[in-house]
Amino acid sequence: ETGVTQTPRHLVMGMTNKKSLKCEQHLGHNAMYWYKQSAKKPLELMFVYSLEERVENNSVPSRFSPECPNSSHLFLHLHTLQPEDSALYLCASSQGRGPNYGYTFGSGTRLTVV
Amino acid sequence: KNQVEQSPQSLIILEGKNCTLQCNYTVSPFSNLRWYKQDTGRGPVSLTIMTFSENTKSNGRYTATLDADTKQSSLHITASQLSDSASYICVVSRTLGNNDMRFGAGTRLTVKP
């Protein structure tokens, strides 16, 4: 257990469905992130939250909607996704923001859009 | 072109053999470089972190090197084990900005008995 828990581990959804991914950390970290990992590609940063405030949104389509109700929880709400959105979605947290703070990653949610 | 390039893309070796993975970067200004190990179905886990002044750092059978002049790093795995089968990701951070981390696409290592 890495300290960052993601649920569900696997998700299959149709293009018209609405689902949510959940991330929880009990490390006392102040920043949380969503990354998308596609096969043979570098991790792509999607959203950054610092002290529950969204501080970065890397041109992610509006069909992805993040929510951070408190410093321990992060959600990614999904609706009307496309097949190309199929990927591993990773949540990470860090104690602070800046190059000296390493990330702790969750195990990810493997998403398949059919 | 990605600012962090890793090679090879994939590698198969026999158990007990050594191997070296490469990472070339153009990220600037450089702050530090991390190597992560990602097992199948899991998230990445940090192996080492190296700053500008460090040339080498070891973590058990893993040894990372850094040449900041040529902007190259390598990860050497000694006496490989089946459990070393994973993807190894190189991540370079800039000194500017908060969390400006650039990820490589990873090297997929398979260790066979």
Contact A42 B105 (CB under 8 A): yes
Contact B105 A99 (CB under 8 A): no
The pair phi, psi for residue A84, each rounded to 5°, is -70, -5
CB pairs under 8 A between A and B: 61
Interface test with B, best of A6, A30, A91, A103 (most B CBs within 10 A): A103
Locate A113 and state its tokens.
């859009």
Locate A51 and state its tokens.
């002290």
pLDDT score of B60 more than 60: yes
- Put simply, whether B102 touches A (Cβ < 8 Å) is yes
In sign, the C-alpha dihedral spanning A113, B10, B78, B53 is negative
Locate A92 and state its tokens.
């990470």
Which residues of chain B does A90 touch, with a Cβ-Cβ cutoff of 8 Å? 43-44
Average pLDDT of every residue of chain B:
94
Q: Give the pLDDT confidence score for residue B13 in this predicted structure.
A: 98
For A72-104, the pLDDT digits (tens) are 999 999 999 999 999 999 999 999 888 888 899
Locate B47 and state its tokens.
């192996």
Mean pLDDT score, A56-85: 92
Interface of A with B in 39-58 (CB under 8 A): 40-43, 45, 48, 50, 55-56
Cα–Cα distance measured from residue A35 to residue A108, given in angstroms and rounded to the nearest whole number: 9
What is the rounded end-to-end Cα distance, in angstroms, of chain B?
Answer: 36
| More confident: B94 or B107 | B107
For A11-44, the pLDDT digits (tens) are 999 988 899 999 999 999 999 999 999 998 999 9
Query: Hey, is B95 helix, strand or coil?
Result: coil
Looking at the complex, report in whole angstroms how far the Cα of residue B95 sits from the nearest Cα belonging to chain A.
6
Q: Which of A81, A51, A82 is nearest to A65 (CA)?
A: A81
DSSP state at residue A83: G
Looking at the complex, report in whole angstroms how far the Cα of residue B15 sits from the nearest Cα belonging to chain A.
24
Q: Give the pLDDT confidence score for residue B21 in this predicted structure.
A: 98
Neighbouring CB atoms inside 10 A of B31's CB total 19
- What confidence tier does A57 reach under pLDDT thresholds 50, 70, 90? confident
Q: Give the pLDDT confidence score for residue B97 in this predicted structure.
A: 65
Say which residues have a Cβ less than 8 Å from residue B111's Cβ, sequence separation at least 6: B12, B13, B14, B15, B80, B81, B82, B83, B84, B85
Which residues of chain A does B101 touch, with a Cβ-Cβ cutoff of 8 Å? 45, 99, 103
Looking at the complex, report in whole angstroms how far the Cα of residue A14 sits from the nearest Cα belonging to chain B.
22
Q: Give the pLDDT confidence score for residue A55 in this predicted structure.
A: 74
DSSP state at residue B53: T
For B27-37, the pLDDT digits (tens) are 888 999 999 99
Contact A94 B4 (CB under 8 A): no
The pair phi, psi for residue B83, each rounded to 5°, is -70, -10
Locate B33 and state its tokens.
């470089």
CA A70 to chain CA centroid, nearest Å = 15
Contact A98 B99 (CB under 8 A): yes
Contact A92 B99 (CB under 8 A): no
B14 beta partners: B112
